[in-house]
Chain A
Amino acid sequence: MTETPPRPAGRTPRGPWILAVVLLAPAVILPLIVPLYDSTDPTLNGWPFYFWFQMALILMSGVLTIAAYLVVTRSERRERVRDGERTR
């Protein structure tokens, strides 16, 4: 326990990263498909669809990004424990 050996290359498993990308993809792609939401109806509490849908997308992207954060962080922590390094 005197020195931590340098970690080997490509140590991060690809699985969690792929999952994170899949989780984040809707947050990047949906807001860019304008025909999906360029209408007034259905309104919600006086809000045209166009506006409340985009506000809802913000909430969705927040949830997805938190999910992706948990996936990636937990996987990295597991890696560190497996490699016998101290967890921060």
Chain B
Amino acid sequence: MSGVDGVAFSVFLFLFLLVTVLGFAAARWRRATSMASLDEWGLGGRGFGTFIAWFLIGGDLYTAYTFVAVPALMYAGSVVGFFAVPYTIVVYPLIFLFLPRLWSVSHRHSYVTPADFVRGRYDSRPLGLAVALTGILATMPYIALQLVGIQVVLEVMGIGTGAGSWVSKDLPLFIAFAVLAAYTYSSGLRAPALIAFVKDILIYVVILVAVIYLPHHLGGWGHIFSSAQHSFDSYNADNAEAIKAGTASGKGSIPPAAAHWAYASLALGSALALFMYPHSVTGVLSTKNRSVIRRNAALLPAYSFLLGLLALLGFVAIAAGVKVTNAQQSVPQLFENEFPSWFAGVAFAAIVIGALVPAAIMSIAAANLWTRNIYKAFLKHDATPAQEAQQSKLASLLVKFGALAFVLFLPKDFAINLQLLGGVWILQTFPAIVLGLYTRWFHRWALFAGWLVSMVYGTWLAYNVPVVGNPGSHFGGPLSAFPGTDTKVYIAAIAFVVNLVVSVGLTIVLRAANVAEGTDQTRPEDYTADVGDAEVEPELDPGAPAHA
């Protein structure tokens, strides 16, 4: 354990222990008579107001994705690395337009998950099951990204770099993971909600210092941009042959014409996928009324601005002369080099806690999906509240172990590819959910077939992408050539097009053949209902049957 900075490590450990204590103590916060129900464990007693909900939803924005994964792409000179910015621009107008309708119909019919809605809208249990399973599966690589973020911070601190066996290498990650799993298990959603306060304060302090002090200290943004460009140019000159042979990627900061479709499809695909994730939907549905969603959509672009600056920390690291072989270590290494020890410790803690909170929220949301839409819908109709809570607790552990499997068995040079793989899957629920908010034209079996075909096809495409310079490897990136062309496009978008073609084509066939399309539970006016209207539940009751 040589090379560990004692001060930075002590500060880090103190903050980590602080949130661990908070995580376990959270079970007593806003104390309930019993934690043995899904209401209490999975939704924090449903007593959260707009303020706490805002912290929780905001928690999905600043994660290891922002601090580690996106700057890593910029540092490595990926020409599409800045796509996270158009992604977060595009996503809020879409939230503004689509989600109020989902809010309204969910509150009129007591739907808690998107799978509830799909099942009620199309009178189809298989389709609801498909949406639920996809949500659980797609959440795992997203959590895996958070774990990778934790791991690189630990490595930069000098812990977990033991060269020998995987035990000494991955043990600290397992410890952090076990702590997360333990307090999520015992405290449920209260744990991340309470820790979110600490996390947000730490993160805002670190962000502001990083994006104001560092560029100023390093000669201004103009110098930073030119250093990055210079570094990419000399890399390209030194490796011209390898780049030509395809065993290395050329570096750059602006996408050339050939990468325009990749850039735009990564942005749009990620934006459409974001609010299909179980944890986003849960957050949105927990709001008080339709206006809260729109107000958030109008205010959240402020955060995109900071996200853009954080992405550019990859360039700042280049300008500061940070040399790391794993690009994901660039920002933590930058903090270690440029900040005084104690503040580097604060920054490390901010990143690690900033990864633990969303990981906890995501695993809880996925676990609720399991309990509501699979366990209760298919396995045990008459489950008691205590049994439901127990199922969710166990499922939250399983989801996290699934995430750990993604970390251990998939390439993690660029963890953002894990999140993008999740996007490939979750986007395939879009036709059933979002198109379903506007029209009942699609046939339930056509949507199911579109989902199935695009899931298999998208996974197959992703499986066949090798890591650059390592032929025969798998899941190496998010891009693949659009069928019939040489143009690289985000795999989620390719699979989505296939999904739409199958859904539309089969709907025409099935309608012509008069195949039963089930009874729609919802009425047109349900989609514009607001608080104060008849039959609108002010708060959703997850204990109520999905079919109100």
Contacts and interface: CB of A to CB of B under 8 A. Distances in A.
Q: Which of B254, B255, B302 has the most CB of A within 10 A?
A: B254
Contact of A32 (B221, B268, B308): B268
Contact of A46 (B92, B221, B294, B525): B221
Given A58-B85, A61-B304, 19 more contacts: A8-B525, A10-B528, A24-B96, A27-B89, A27-B92, A34-B255, A38-B257, A38-B260, A46-B223, A50-B82, A50-B254, A57-B86, A58-B301, A59-B301, A59-B305, A61-B93, A61-B301, A62-B302, A88-B531
Given A28-B94, A69-B96, A7 B294 contact: no
Given A31-B86, A54-B82, A72-B294, A6 B92 contact: no
Q: Which of A39, A51, A86 has the most CB of B within 10 A?
A: A51
B298 A68 contact: yes
6 contacts: A10-B528, A32-B267, A35-B257, A38-B254, A66-B298, A72-B294
A31 B257 CA distance: 15
A39 B254 CA distance: 7
Contacts of A69: 96, 294-295, 297-298
Interface string B421-455: 00000000000000000000000000000000000
A54 B308 contact: yes
A47 B222 CA distance: 6
A65 interface: yes
> Main secondary structure on chain A at its contact with chain B?
helix
Q: Which of A31, A50, A55 has the most CB of B within 10 A?
A: A31
B367 interface: no
A48 B254 CA distance: 9
A35 B260 contact: yes
Interface string B253-292: 1111100100110011000000000000000000001010
Nearest to B289: A88
A14 to B, nearest CB: 11
Interface in B506-524: 523-524
Interface of B: 82, 85-86, 88-90, 92-94, 96-97, 220-223, 225-226, 253-257, 260, 263-264, 267-268, 289, 291, 294-295, 297-298, 301-302, 304-305, 308, 312, 523-525, 528, 530-535
Q: Which of B88, B90, B533 has the most CB of A within 10 A?
A: B90
Nearest to A21: B97
A47 B221 contact: yes
Interface string A40-75: 100101111011001101110110111011001100
B98 to A, nearest CB: 11
Contacts of B89: 27, 31, 54, 57-58, 61
B431 to A, nearest CB: 18
Interface in A3-39: 4-12, 20-21, 24, 27-28, 31-35, 38-39
A4 to B, nearest CB: 7
Contacts of B530: 76
Given A28-B93, A46-B222, A47-B225, A58 B308 contact: yes
B298 A65 contact: yes
B90 A28 contact: yes
A46 B90 contact: no
A24 B267 contact: no
A65 B93 CA distance: 7
A32 B90 contact: yes
Contacts of B220: 46
A11 B104 CA distance: 14
A65 B96 CA distance: 8
